[in-house]
Amino acid sequence: MSDLSAVKALVFDVFGTVVDWRTSLICDFTWWGQTRGIKADWTALVDGWRGVYVASMDEVRKHPERGYVILDVLHRRSLEKLVEQQAIKGLTDADLDYLTKGWHRLQPWPDSIAGLTRLKKKFIISPLSNGNVGLLTNMAKFAGLPWDLVMSAELFEHYKPDPETYLGAARLLGLAPGEVMMVAAHNKDLRAAQSNGLKTAFVARPTEYGPLQKEDFEATGNWDIVARDFAGIADRLGC
Amino acid sequence: MSDLSAVKALVFDVFGTVVDWRTSLICDFTWWGQTRGIKADWTALVDGWRGVYVASMDEVRKHPERGYVILDVLHRRSLEKLVEQQAIKGLTDADLDYLTKGWHRLQPWPDSIAGLTRLKKKFIISPLSNGNVGLLTNMAKFAGLPWDLVMSAELFEHYKPDPETYLGAARLLGLAPGEVMMVAAHNKDLRAAQSNGLKTAFVARPTEYGPLQKEDFEATGNWDIVARDFAGIADRLGC
């Protein structure tokens, strides 16, 4: 087992690791669509939206000369295309804003808050997410996530898994990379964190993508902690 | 009275406004000096240290080509000079680090935590301080400050009262400047915030500088709120 006694801060992937974005958005939009009288296959919209997530960040990465673009703006751009493709009719500008801000209104997994509350007693806890600061702050207020601070890809003008994000988080905290542990439900995120010197904790979220889940059912790397949920991480860290 | 219904976030000056840096440092260093067997006039050290604070940030402002320097580093540089000037003997490198990190171990004013806790129910609350992110995060853990997020001059690579700090805070939150209220015990900070479009709240901290206090006994500008303490701000904002 790894020596984790140097760890002082835990940084968390958020979409999928802390919150259940898929169920949250489908429920929110289905209820809202009924009250607004908008007909759509909201599940298809949400899955399609997340389906273009990585590509939308790749565009930013490929065109540094255009400057960094925050996730709220990427979400809005992708949404406009999907609404067109899926022929969803009757959406006003305010409606598109409401849907885009759906990513600010995500519900935590059932173990998230209790686990974060335990971990916060011993460690600095922060998101390290591709969501922008405003999105993550609003989500924390909405969902009751007890972060000590909010770290976002936006602060480093690089999206994960770029090294600037993991190293930037350690730098902002005044810590060495090995004093920071990345917590994620995604092996790819942990691989990048580990290669930049961070400690790693995997938590399984096998229903994140619903029936579309294809990977991350289990740990596929040599992570410092592998747990079923946040309580398991707190147990392992003696919280 | 101003219409404050648009305000969604309160950002706080920290040194002097939220925490009593002078009493905290003098008590901490006096106790520590006794246990370490170091003789010094700790009150003179603390007052001298704060006395060069503004000049140390001005140096950063005057030399952008040298890059931004975080407050922990400025504090350490100033300390080394003062230790020499005040002929304090026997300090190791670890001792200088302990003293510098004294700024991470500051106690809140008696009304700070209760006031912040009330304000947090209705508003996003964050520091907007010249302290670096690591300093502010450690202080929040030490003192129990219930911030929603931690915003620092470090994120904008500009010290207050540069406009980049006030406008940067609003931008990170995805808010218009008029949706953000600056809370400070310093009229100068509020003047800069107001000139950049933020709302303003003054709280009196007439003992901040002890017997050396020369200004900020009262509000000298047309601030949106003037209060005796954080409870007064919460009252005015209906929290």
pLDDT tens for B57-103 read 999 999 999 999 999 999 999 999 999 999 999 999 999 999 999 99
pLDDT at A184 over 80: yes
pLDDT mean over A26-39: 97
Chain A CA closest to residue B146: A148
**Cα B126 to Cα B124: distance, rounded to the nearest angstrom:** 7
CB A112 within 8 A of CB A15: no
Query: How confident is the model at residue B106, as a pLDDT?
Result: 98
Q: Quick check: B172 contacting A, CB < 8 Å?
A: yes
pLDDT mean over A91-106: 98
Chain B CA closest to residue A152: B172
**For residue B228, what is the DSSP state?**
S
Query: How confident is the model at residue B2, as a pLDDT?
Result: 74
Q: The tokens of A34 are what? A: 């009924």
pLDDT at A180 over 70: yes
Q: What residues of chain B lie within 8 A of the CB of A173, using their CB?
A: 133-134, 137
Burial class (CB in 10 A: 0-12, 13-18, 19+), A1: exposed
Chain A CA closest to residue B70: A172
Find residue A183's DSSP bridge partners: A12, A201
Q: The tokens of B70 are what? A: 């975080």
**Cα B81 to Cα A225: distance, rounded to the nearest angstrom:** 45
SS3 call for B114 = helix
Q: Enter the CATH code of domain B9-20+107-236.
A: 3.40.50.1000
CB A57 within 8 A of CB A158: no
The position carrying tokens 């960094």 is: A68
pLDDT mean over B149-169: 98
- Which amino acid does the sequence have at B144? G
For residue B110, give the nearest of B18, B182, B30, B24 by alpha carbon: B18
Give the distance from CA B161 to its chain's centroid: 12
What pTM value is reported for the model? Answer: 0.97
Spans of all domains in chain B: 9-20+107-236, 21-104
C-alpha triplet B28, A124, B11: angle, nearest 5°: 75
**Cα A98 to Cα A83: distance, rounded to the nearest angstrom:** 14
| pLDDT band at residue A2 under the 50/70/90 scheme | confident
Q: Above 0.90 for ipTM, yes or no?
A: yes
Q: A9-20+107-236 and A21-104 share one CATH topology?
A: no
Q: What residues of chain B lie within 8 A of the CB of A138, using their CB?
A: 174
C-alpha triplet B144, B149, B151: angle, nearest 5°: 105
Query: How confident is the model at residue B152, as a pLDDT?
Result: 98
Query: How confident is the model at residue B1, as a pLDDT?
Result: 57
pLDDT mean over B228-233: 98
For residue B216, give the nearest of B23, B4, B13 by alpha carbon: B13
Smallest Cβ–Cβ distance between B149 and the set A124, A149, A175 belongs to A149
Q: Which residue, among B133, B135, B157, B173, would best test binding to A if mutated, counting the most A CBs under 10 Å from its CB?
A: B133
Q: Quick check: B173 contacting A, CB < 8 Å?
A: yes
Q: How many contacts does A have with B, using Cβ atoms within 8 A?
A: 57
**For residue A217, what is the DSSP state?**
S
CB A203 within 8 A of CB A228: yes
**For residue B105, what is the DSSP state?**
S
Task: Please state, for a pLDDT cut of 70, what percent of chain B lies above it.
Answer: 100
Q: The tokens of B63 are what? A: 């030399």
- Distance set, CA B174 to CA A28, A236, B167, B207 (Å): 22, 37, 11, 36
pLDDT mean over B185-194: 98
**Cα A179 to Cα B50: distance, rounded to the nearest angstrom:** 31
Q: What residues of chain B lie within 8 A of the CB of A134, using their CB?
A: 172-175
Q: What residues of chain A lie within 8 A of the CB of B8, using their CB?
A: none
Smallest Cβ–Cβ distance between A149 and the set B72, B133, B174 belongs to B133
Q: Which residue, among B171, B172, B175, B180, would best test binding to A if mutated, counting the most A CBs under 10 Å from its CB?
A: B172
Q: What residues of chain A lie within 8 A of the CB of B133, using their CB?
A: 149, 172-174
**Cα A101 to Cα A103: distance, rounded to the nearest angstrom:** 5
Q: Quick check: A176 contacting B, CB < 8 Å?
A: no
CATH fold for the domain made of B21-104: DNA polymerase; domain 1 (1.10.150)
Find residue A10's DSSP bridge partners: A125, A181
Q: Where are the alpha helices (DSSP H) in B63-197?
A: 71-85, 93-100, 112-122, 133-143, 153-156, 163-173, 187-195
| pLDDT band at residue A146 under the 50/70/90 scheme | very high
For residue B82, give the nearest of B35, B42, B29 by alpha carbon: B42
Contacts for A28-36: CB closer than 8 Å, 24+ residues apart: A28/A102, A28/A105, A29/A99, A29/A102, A32/A98, A36/A95
**Cα A96 to Cα B18: distance, rounded to the nearest angstrom:** 39
b/e B139-149 (16+ beta carbons within 10 angstroms → b): bbbebebebbb
Q: Quick check: A150 contacting B, CB < 8 Å?
A: yes
Query: How confident is the model at residue A1, as a pLDDT?
Result: 57
Contact B150 A150 (CB under 8 A): yes
What Rg value do the Cα atoms of chain B yield, rounded?
18
Find residue A9's DSSP bridge partners: A124, A180
Q: Quick check: B157 contacting A, CB < 8 Å?
A: no
Query: How confident is the model at residue A3, as a pLDDT?
Result: 85
Q: Are strands B199-203 and A225-227 parallel, antiparallel or unpaired?
A: unpaired
Task: Please state, for a pLDDT cut of 90, what percent of chain B lies above it.
Answer: 99
**For residue B123, what is the DSSP state?**
S
Q: Quick check: B69 contacting A, CB < 8 Å?
A: no
**Cα B180 to Cα B169: distance, rounded to the nearest angstrom:** 8
Find residue A127's DSSP bridge partners: A12
pLDDT at B161 over 90: yes
Give the distance from CA B175 to its chain's centroid: 22
Is the peptide bond between A146 and the residue preceding it cis, with omega within 30 degrees of 0? Answer: no
CB A129 within 8 A of CB A161: no
**Cα B152 to Cα B144: distance, rounded to the nearest angstrom:** 18
Find residue A152's DSSP bridge partners: A129
**Cα A198 to Cα A190: distance, rounded to the nearest angstrom:** 9
